[in-house]
Structure 1
Amino acid sequence: MQTKSQTRLVNLIIIALFAAIIGILSQFTIPIPPVPFTGQTLAVGLAATILGAKRGTYSVLLYLLIGAVGIPVFAELKSGISIIFGPTGGYLIGFIPAAYFIGFYLEKTKYNVFHAIIANIISMFFPLLIGTAWLKIAASLSWTAAFAGGFLPFIVVGIAKAILAGWLGILLRSRLESAKVLPKSTLA
């Protein structure tokens, strides 16, 4: 049985590990203007599916913090607060409610592949909606241009990444539970 301080240390390590995973997968990009395709959303979905609402959201917040202070973890090895306040910053901010929603949904239903895929598909719209609105304002685009460049191209790829994050996230979560790194949940 772990002590409270050991549990806290394990949680901090896991949160930091998933912040790093988000940063690593962010480098898998297809640079199309105005918003590149990245592995960020896959990584956010994995973090939230595996860690739940609280720890998954903390991993996203840590990722954003380390990127904001200058560590090049954002897509294309970018960093700085200017990226968060720039045209694509809304997508980054949208990862926060997306991660929370996935974890919250799974905690209220069951940690299984079906629910994980549903949660990830629904959550993919948080960064898309926030990001598109932010892109419209920050880049002085019309709603049509922002929607065409910052929303529509990401639907099909987003659904594919959501399915992968749901399936792989549950698989990895069950492995971490078996290794007693994560507490047991109701897996169906």
Structure 2
Amino acid sequence: MPATTSLQSLHVMVWTALMASLIAVGSFLSIPLGPVPFSMQPLFIMLAGFLLGWPHGMIAVLLFVAAGSIGLPVFAGGKSGLAVLFGPTGGYLIGFVLAAGAIGLLTQARKTARTPSQTPSWALGLLAGLLGLALLYACGLLNLVRVLDIGWNKALTIGFLPFILQDLVKLVMAVATWRIMHGRGLLPR
């Protein structure tokens, strides 16, 4: 029994590191659009929550944020350092952590109600993802208003409206991936 538990722990640690790495890769797939760049990070943030659950999805995002904070160029556009964390986009980084945690908590709490072979519902995935995106945007917009000293209309114009439709598509992609991986027994839990 202890060997199985040890292997399961190792398996989850490897998946956690992999998701942190994928989030970093998602930051390199970015297009600058003013103070907030478009990137593929939200897809991998949501996947971390869906695939790893609570608390490992959040830990994967914390690893990513820690790597960028100590100087590794993993933030959008190859940026790094505490200046990014405390700059205009720092709220989104905090929102990433909360989004992955909330998604993992909501989807894992329902895990006990399903049999292992039962694929999770689209409704559960979309609801968890929408809550995660709401947390992500709330933190990001609050920080934009604070750091740039702008009004809410301007913050919504530069930090929400250009991204929400793309992030909703990423949410559907993340839920689809989660359901497929769950159905094939590929989840790292």
Structure 1 length normalisation: TM-score? 0.88
Using the TM superposition, give the Cα deviation of residue 144 of structure 1 relative to its aligned residue in structure 2, in angstroms. 1.6
> 1:112 — aligned with what?
120
- Alignment coverage as a number of residue pairs: 180
**Where do 5+ consecutive residues of structure 2 fail to align?**
112-118
Structure 2 length normalisation: TM-score? 0.88
Task: Specify the SS of the correspondent of 1:152.
Answer: coil
Listed one character per residue, the Cα deviations across residues 133-182 of structure 1 (whole Å, up to 9, x for unaligned) are: 1011111212221121112222211111111111112223444x35xx63
Measured in 2, the distance between the counterparts of 1:122 and 1:135 equals 20
Decide whether the 8 Å contact of 2:15 with 2:188 is kept in 1.
no
Using the TM superposition, give the Cα deviation of residue 78 of structure 1 relative to its aligned residue in structure 2, in angstroms. 0.9
Measured in 2, the distance between the counterparts of 1:170 and 1:85 equals 36
RMSD of Structure 2 on Structure 1 (CA): 1.7
Give the direction of change, closer, same or farther, for the CA distance of 1:63–1:174 in structure 2 (3 Å limit). Answer: farther
Measured in 2, the distance between the counterparts of 1:145 and 1:87 equals 13
Q: Does 1:38 align with 2:39?
A: yes
> 1:53 — aligned with what?
54
- 1:131-142 to 2 correspondences below 5 Å: 131-142=140-151
Measured in 2, the distance between the counterparts of 1:113 and 1:43 equals 20
Measured in 2, the distance between the counterparts of 1:52 and 1:3 equals 20
> 1:14 — aligned with what?
15
Task: Specify the SS of the correspondent of 1:73.
Answer: coil
Measured in 2, the distance between the counterparts of 1:27 and 1:4 equals 35
Using the TM superposition, give the Cα deviation of residue 5 of structure 1 relative to its aligned residue in structure 2, in angstroms. 3.3
> 2:188 — aligned with what?
182
Using the TM superposition, give the Cα deviation of residue 125 of structure 1 relative to its aligned residue in structure 2, in angstroms. 1.3
Decide whether the 8 Å contact of 1:49 with 1:170 is kept in 2.
no
Q: Which runs of 4+ in 1 moved over 2 A?
A: 1-11, 108-111, 172-175
> 1:151 — aligned with what?
160
> 1:75 — aligned with what?
76
Measured in 2, the distance between the counterparts of 1:27 and 1:19 equals 13
**Where do 5+ consecutive residues of structure 1 fail to align?**
184-188
Give the direction of change, closer, same or farther, for the CA distance of 1:31–1:52 in structure 2 (3 Å limit). Answer: same
